[in-house]
Amino acid sequence: MAHDLYRRMRTAVRDSRARALFGAYRPYEQYEPGPLSPNIAATVQRHGFSYMLSKSGFGTEPRVLLQSGPFVVLNYTAGRWDGWTPFETINDVSDLRTAERRLRNNKQPAWLLGGIDTCLWTFSGELWRHAPGLEAIASFVANGGSSGALINVTPRVIARYARLLAETGRVPQAAVPVVPTEIVWNR
């Protein structure tokens, strides 16, 4: 009985003009990425990785957030913070088109790097509803984007490219602390 009443009330609100007042709960809507932690970067480097991707440097301009020898930390350049997950994600192919246009208009060396929240794509709703959108993203990248100039490579190749650009001064480096050679744990 209570469940039926709840369902009828929900339907009544959804079908009324009051619907605009009620949005879906987005657990990370009021948050934003914090600064890059040098200790996290040092841990990643110490464990043998040559690069790290960070939501801390999410932004429109490609930047090397941190470099320590061959190790680099890169920012994402495509996607949006929508509050569903604690990541900037590519929600549809328009996110890639927008980022490609913005990066190409700058006429500077750049990388287009974004993340796909696979849980939202595959575990929310029917997969057949999401499949065309996911296929559009994959086709866009595989076909070189709108310009035909995008080259689909692995993140490791992007990291090497970014390292070379940073070393030659062709891409900005964020003002962050140098990765310490030893991690000092705060207790």
- Cβ proximity of 45 and 67 under 8 Å: no
- Provide the token pair at 95: 């996110």
Chain centroid offset of residue 185 CA? 28
- What number of CA atoms fall less than 13 Å from residue 20's CA on the CB side? 1
The pTM for the full model equals 0.75
CB-based contact 77:114 (threshold 8 Å): yes
Q: Quick one: CA torsion of 162, 163, 167, 170, rounded to 10 degrees?
A: 0
Using the predicted structure, report yes or no on whether residue 182 has a pLDDT greater than 70. Answer: no
Q: Could you tell me the two tokens for 101? A: 């246009």
List, for residues 92-150, the tens digit of each pLDDT value.
999 999 999 999 999 999 999 988 887 777 777 777 777 888 899 999 999 999 999 99
pLDDT tens-place string over residues 156-174: 999 999 999 998 989 887 6
